[in-house]
Structure 1
Amino acid sequence: MNLANKITLVRIFLVPVVMLFLLVKYDLGRVQLGNEVITVSEIIAALIFILAAVTDGLDGYIARKKKLVTNLGKFLDPLADKLLISAALISLVEMQRLDAWIAIVIISREFAVTGLRLVAAAEGHVIAASAMGKLKTIVQIIAIVALMLNNFPFSSISLPFSRIFVWLAVIVTVWSGVDYFIKNKTVIRFSKSR
């Protein structure tokens, strides 16, 4: 197994660690800013999530730079991304920091685009990540981290930063999903005709 795939596996193994720090009530202390309080375990979860998110770009860069692109990597990389984002969203719903319908919309888009990619692959086509898809990932990561930190430190200045980025994530997620289907409608038409 090459270095890029090992980094992707690390991202997958970090998913339960993030959930552990978010959902299990550890008494590791609290940080207070004004009236807002955030637990140390939530800060640790956010830092691990950021580390895992950064490995997404790193494994792809290494795979392309060192010509280590493999079929295993093509399978594991998007799987790791979807596991990380979905687990974080579901954890935030459990923590009552995110409405369930928002998590459902975002996760549904991920399943739909993955399904499209599978249909395309069966027809011998590869659907590469688009610029809109990459923007979607960045916005989702920012929104998730802001929610994990309970809008800390922006709540001290009454800026609903996490809420703004959640709505932005929903809009960009849906938009990028529609964009994938529009740009790849020939794949769908071709598979229907067979």
Structure 2
Amino acid sequence: MPSNIPNLLTWARILLIPLFVGVFYLPADWLSPDEENLLATLIFIVAAITDWFDGWLARKLGQTSAFGAFLDPVADKLMVAAALVLLVKLERADAIIAFIIIAREIAISALREWMAKVGTSRSVAVSFIGKLKTAAQMISIPMLLHHGRLGGFDLQAWGGVLLDVAAVLTLWSMAYYLWKAWPDISAHGG
């Protein structure tokens, strides 16, 4: 397991997950609901920033590795899944939307793993639509975690709309990846 700065940041992101979830399970007299929301939002934002930063550092410092390429998306998916499950529990997100997003992540991860095994992983490289989906998720989740207003801006309402957009982009990107992978699936006994 290579230990370099980008991988350590990825591990830190994974270690933030129990802290992030734990915020909502602290004794009631430790934090007010508004403080819980703010703290969870800040933890999620820090995790999102480390996601961008560890990739940038890996490229800048020439510290990319097969292990880092594996661990980084796992950390991302774990953090997003934890956030979506919490948002459903807190009744700030619809369970169907969370299921669509989480199921797509599992399905595409499995597809990428299979494609790598058959030596055709390039056909399921990250697409622009996948990046849009990720951006919509990473903006909507902190809005829903904050669950309030920021100035005159209703974060809950707009976060809900943006999460719905993320779900549509999720389905679109999954269809795109499956379409790109179909020739390889057909050729390898799919």
Amino acid at match of 1:161: W
Shift of the alpha carbon at 1:24? 3.3
Q: Is the 8 A contact 2:144 2:155 kept in 1?
A: no
Q: Is the 8 A contact 2:92 2:156 kept in 1?
A: no
Shift of the alpha carbon at 1:155? 7.1
Over the residues paired in the alignment, what is the CA RMSD in angstroms? 2.1
Q: Is the 8 A contact 2:143 2:155 kept in 1?
A: no
Q: Which consecutive unaligned segments of at least 5 residues does structure 1 have?
A: 31-37
1:4 equivalent in alignment to 2:13: no
1:147 equivalent in alignment to 2:144: yes
Task: Considering fraction of residues, name the structure with more helix.
Answer: 2
Cα distance in structure 1, aligned partners of 2:120 and 2:64? 17
Shift of the alpha carbon at 1:154? 6.8
1:24 equivalent in alignment to 2:26: yes
Secondary structure at the aligned position of 1:97 is classed as coil
Cα distance in structure 2, aligned partners of 1:64 and 1:158? 34
Equivalent residue, structure 2, for 1:88: 83
Cα distance in structure 2, aligned partners of 1:160 and 1:147? 8
Secondary structure at the aligned position of 1:69 is classed as coil
1:61 equivalent in alignment to 2:61: no
The CA deviation string for residues 173-192 of structure 1, in whole angstroms up to 9 with x for no partner, is: 11111111112222212321
The number of aligned residues is 186
CA 156–68 in structure 1, closer or farther in 2 if over 3 Å, else same: closer
Shift of the alpha carbon at 1:169? 1.2
Cα distance in structure 2, aligned partners of 1:52 and 1:157? 23
Cα distance in structure 2, aligned partners of 1:160 and 1:79? 29
Cα distance in structure 2, aligned partners of 1:4 and 1:22? 29
Shift of the alpha carbon at 1:27? 3.6
Residue number among 125, 131, 135 corresponding to 2:132 in the alignment: 135
Q: Is the 8 A contact 1:18 1:45 kept in 2?
A: yes
Residue number among 108, 133, 141 corresponding to 2:103 in the alignment: 108
Cα distance in structure 1, aligned partners of 2:135 and 2:54? 16
Equivalent residue, structure 2, for 1:35: none
